[in-house]
Amino acid sequence: MAVNRAQRRLLEKRGRELLTHGIDLRPHVDDAAALGSAFFSILATGRANAPSDAARAMLQCLSKVHNAVTPKEIACRGGCTHCCHLFVSATAPEIFLLARSIDEAAKQRLLATNRQTHPMSIEERLRAIVPCPILDGGLCSAYATRPTSCRSTTSFSAEACEGAIRQGATIEVPFAVPPQQARSTVLTIFRAALRAKGLPIVSYELNAGVVRALEALDAERRWLAGDDVFAGVQIDSASLSMRADDVAALAQRFA
Ligand code: SF4
């Protein structure tokens, strides 16, 4: 369904409001299309850093939603890093934004940790309990630009998180559901914008992804032009099927 110029102007106006104020957990399809159109417009500027700009806008929108829906009783606090020992994945724009944000010390830790984690499967990573190299002194050194997966893993019990890291799946963690729903909603809309622009919508393992973004010359501009700069980086298999039909249907509404 092609949109005409007047419809696009309306979508973009509403999309800018949603970028600023956030979106409902289960938005009306017109609002979902409007927010997708706002992300699409940022990607379509063609600027070399358009993917990171789009990721920043998406994370700010998700932050608004999280602020509105995250229960006050969650146990997550500064200095608690159990979930920073898990396998983390992110979309390419989130990875580019993180690569632009981390300091030199984090880059050096990332290069060293990636040599250890790059060949590992998700199961091997969970058994090895490797801390994220972006951690510094028990805190995320790129907190403002951490990926959606880091923002949405919130728990009511730090003890259960610690037990799950040490004992694997035998411990059930009481996760808060609304922050995960918020991520699913906003990320699905973001992925629809990527799809409408003809860009990959999958998520990549974070360490290897950021290393590639740092090492490949002019990586962000080349990715935007269709070059697969993440070839060979492990793809999170969950991202291949995550609401794929919703992504495709929504992309049709504003492409
Ligand atoms: S990016 Fe930050 S929040 Fe995410 S796993 Fe690494 S240290 Fe933790």
The arithmetic mean of pLDDT across residues 18-38, rounded, is 96
The H or E element that residue 136 is part of is: strand 135-136
143-162 tens-digit pLDDT: 999 999 999 999 999 999 99
Q: Which residue among 76, 132, 143, 236 has the greatest number of ligand 1 atoms within 8 angstroms of its CB, and so is best to mutate?
A: 132
135 lines ligand 1 (CB under 6 A): yes
Q: Rounded to the nearest 10 degrees, how much is the dihedral formed by the CA atoms of 144, 150, 151, 154?
A: -140
250 Cα: distance to centroid of ligand 1 (angstroms): 30
Ligand 1 touching residue 76 (CB < 6 A):
no
Q: How far apart are CA 51 and CA 57, in angstroms?
A: 10
Instruction: Please tell me whether the overall predicted TM-score, pTM, comes out greater than 0.85 for this model.
Output: yes
Count the Cβ atoms, other than its own, within 10 Å of residue 30: 12
Quick one: what percent of the chain has pLDDT higher than 90? 82
Tell me if residue 135 falls in helix, strand or coil. Answer: strand
Average pLDDT, the chain: 93
Q: Which residues pair with 250 in a beta bridge?
A: none
pLDDT for the residue 82? 94
pLDDT band of 1, cuts 50, 70, 90: low
Mean per-residue pLDDT, 73-88: 94
How close is the Cα of 42 to the center of ligand 1, in Å?
25
Distance between CA 255 and CA 250 in Å, rounded?
A: 9
Q: What is the pLDDT of residues 44-57, one digit of tens each?
A: 998 999 999 999 99
pLDDT at 169: 64
**Six token digits for residue 194:** 């990527």
**Once rounded to an integer, what is the mean pLDDT over residues 113-137?**
92
Instruction: Name the pLDDT band for 87 (thresholds 50, 70, 90).
Output: very high
- H or E element at residue 11: helix 5-21
Question: Is residue 32 within 6 Å of ligand 1 at its C-beta?
Answer: no
Where are the domains positioned within the chain? 5-254
In angstroms, what is the span from residue 38 Cα to ligand 1's centroid? 27
